[in-house]
Amino acid sequence: MDENPSVLVVSRCGPSSDAPGVLSFVDTYTGKELSSLSLDHAVVQVIPLPYTDSTEQRLHLLINADKHAHLYPKTSEALSIFKREFLNIYWYSVEDQNGIIKGHALKCKCTGEVADEFCFDTRDLWSVVFPSESEKIVATVTRKLNEVVHTQAKVVADQDVMYKYISRNLLFVATVAPKGSGEIGSVTPEESWLVAYLIDTVTGRILHRVTHHGLQGPVHAVFSENWVVYHYFNLRAHRYEMSVIEIYDQSRADNKDVWKLVLGKHNLTSPISLFSRPEVITKSQSYFFTHSLKAIAVTSTAKGITSKQLLLGTIGDQVLALDKRFLDPRRTVNPTQAEKEEGIIPLTDSLPIIPQ
C-alpha cells in the first residue's frame, strides 16, 4: 500500500458506558484524522480479528452493552470473509472487579425489529470465577495478533528437540491477595501471595497454575511465542523479581530425532483441536531484578528469526533491553558443554543490567 498506516481509535460520546460510540481513523505518521463514523450503539469491548480485506483494513468486532457483536468495516467483502470464519471466532472478557473471566462465541444474526446483516448475537461458552476472599485480578496479557513464530521446534543440548506450545488463544492471568493489592509494604509477607495462570480462551481450561507466596504487585507481564515473563515485588527479600514460564507441547514428544525434523518425517502437520486436552509441560524460573517497572514489552521482527529482547520501561523513564536468554528457565549453575554450545548462560540469582 502506498498510503501511510492508520490506527483505529474507538471512543464514546459521553461518560456513560451506554453512550454511542465513535470510530476515528488516524494517520500514524501525521496524526491527522482521516475519517470518522458515528455509531448508533455503545461500545464496551473491541475485538480485533486476525483477518484483513483487500485494502489491508483489519476486521473488528465491536461488542455493545446488550452483548451484540457488530462487524466493521460494513462492507460486503468484510462480511464474506467474516462468514467463512464464523465458527472459528472466539474471544474473552475480563471483569476484574468481580473476579470473573468469560469466554464468548458468535450465535446467529441479531434478532430485532431492524434487520442488520452486520450485527450478531453472542453466547457465553465458559467462565472462570476467582474466589474474591483470596484472589484479585491485577494483570492479563496475551500474544500479539501479528506475532510471527519462526519455528515450533527448539533443538536443545544432545540434539534433543522440544516443541513449543504455540497458541493465539492462551491468556496469562495474575491474581494477588486482596490485602496485597495496595501499595508495596502495606501488607506482611504472610498475608500476600501471587497466583499465575495460563488459560485457554477457547475452552476455559486452566493449563497451568502456580502460587508465589510472600509476593505483591503491581504485576507487569509480556507474552510471546510459548513464554510469559512477569515482574512483581518480593516482600520477604525486599527486592523486585521477574519470573518466566515456558510451555511445551508433549503431544510431539515422539519427534525427538532432529533428523526427522530436517527430513520432514514428523507429525507437525497433523491437525490439532483445542477441545482435546493438550499434553503440555512447563518450565519456570525466578530471578531478582534491580529496577521497578511501569511497562514491559518484547521485540518482534518480520520473520521471527532474530533473538528476542525484553524492553523494560522503568519508573525513571528509562528503557532497558534484556536478552531473553537471561530468562531461560533451563539455566543451571554449572551448564554442561553441550548446554554452553547451545547458548545457555550460567545461572545467577539476579538479572544483569549493563548501563550503556
Number of domains in the chain: 2
113 and 148: one domain? no
169 and 288: one domain? yes
Q: Is 353 domain-assigned? A: no
274 and 306: one domain? yes
The per-residue pLDDT for range 22-77, each reduced to its tens digit, is: 999 999 899 899 888 888 888 989 999 988 888 888 999 999 888 889 999 889 99
104 and 151: one domain? no
Contacts of 304 (CB under 8 A, 6+ apart): 147, 148, 149, 150, 225
pLDDT number for residue 91: 92
Q: Is 352 domain-assigned? A: no
Q: Which of 158, 166, 113 is nearest to 142 (CA)?
A: 166
Q: Which residue has the higher pLDDT, 145 or 257?
A: 145
pLDDT number for residue 260: 58
pLDDT at 261 over 70: no
Q: Is 355 domain-assigned? A: no
Mean pLDDT of 95-113: 86
Q: Is 351 domain-assigned? A: no
Cα separation values, 50 from 91, 144, 171, 328, Å: 12, 10, 17, 30
Q: Which of 303, 306, 344 is nearest to 327 (CA)?
A: 344
pLDDT number for residue 103: 94
235 and 333: one domain? yes
pTM: 0.85
68 and 183: one domain? no
Q: Pick from 67, 98, 129: which residue ends a domain?
A: 129
Structural domain boundaries enclosing 118: 6-129
Mean pLDDT rounded to a whole number for the chain: 86
pLDDT number for residue 258: 52
Where residue 336 falls among pLDDT bands split at 50, 70, 90? confident
The per-residue pLDDT for range 265-309, each reduced to its tens digit, is: 555 555 555 556 678 889 999 999 988 999 999 998 888 888 899
